[in-house]
Amino acid sequence: MSRSVLVTGGNRGIGLAIARAFADAGDKVAITYRSGEPPQALTDAGVLAVKCDITDAEQVEQAYKEIEDKHGNVEVLVANAGITKDQLLMRMTEEDFTSVLDTNLTGTFRVVKRANRGMLRARKGRVVLISSVVGLYGGPGQANYAASKAGLVGFARSLARELGSRNLTFNVVAPGFVDTDMTKVLTDEQRAGIVAQVPLGRYAQPEEIAATVKFLASDDASYITGAVIPVDGGLGMGH
């Protein structure tokens, strides 16, 4: 059955792979993008692209109105949009910290809260939040990012308890290092250092994250909620 799926930050990287996976399965997919233009191939494939900065509550409201108008209530939400502003603590400004929290954590709150309206009415819904191995493992220079990604775990688990009786599930996917623009900024030396710590000895491809997200939104995952699923090549094992 074709569902109304929303992927935030679906114009590139992991979000794009997730949007493609749902579209290939025949779902009605909407993505949000913040800047530039969405990939032509995606819109040609019938994906609805809506401009929306998730740090702006009004833009989130407008995006939902457009999506609901064209695809009906969102039944599957993948909160994927996120940023990094890495810096050692002594040099990290308050703006470095709050802007990352405002996008990754509060931005997720905005889109999840708005999606819940329709999900509660329908008494069903699937929410998948994209966290990171760094959320629980930590990362030097990533106190802001790790705090935001760890926050998503408490957020999802609270909602799993609050809304489980309404047939809503909330799960977290925690990717390791994935080949996208976000990790392109790392030097070859940093990259080699990371890969040396990953039991599978390589970065993930965005499609490998998308496969787990698709599973969590499927009927096969009907009894999974409040879970944190690592897709990290073994990097975060043990936390």
Q: Which of 4, 132, 144, 212 binds ligand NDP (CB under 6 A)?
A: 132
Phi (first) and psi of residue 22, to 5 degrees: -70, -40
Q: Does 225 bind ligand NDP (CB under 6 A)?
A: no
The least CB distance from residue 88 to ligand NDP, in Å, is 19
Residues numbered 141 to 180 that lie near ligand NDP (CB under 6 A) are 175, 177-178, 180
> Do 232 and 172 touch, CB atoms closer than 8 A?
no
Is 103 among the residues that bind ligand NDP (CB under 6 A)? yes
Where b means 16+ CB within 10 Å and e means fewer, 75-95 reads bbbbbbbbbbbbbeeeebeee
Q: How far is the CB of 119 from ligand NDP (least distance, A)?
A: 21
Q: Is 80 in the site for ligand NDP (CB under 6 A)?
A: yes
**Which residues on neighbouring strands pair with residue 171, listed in sequence order?**
128
* Cα separation of the two ends of the chain: 37
Q: Residue 223 catalytic?
A: no
Report in angstroms how near the CB of residue 231 gets to ligand NDP at its nearest. 9
Contact call for residue 83 and ligand NDP (CB under 6 A): yes
Which among 39, 47, 38 has a CA at the least distance from the CA of 2? 47
| Contact string 190-219 vs ligand NDP (x = CB under 6 A) | ------------------------------
27, 29, 30, 33: which one binds ligand NDP (CB under 6 A):
33
Residues 6+ apart with CB under 8 A from 71: 4, 28, 30, 48
Angle at 208 between CA 13 and CA 40, to 5 degrees: 35
Binding site for ligand NDP (CB under 6 A): 8-9, 11-15, 32-35, 53-55, 80-83, 103, 107, 130, 132, 175, 177-178, 180-183
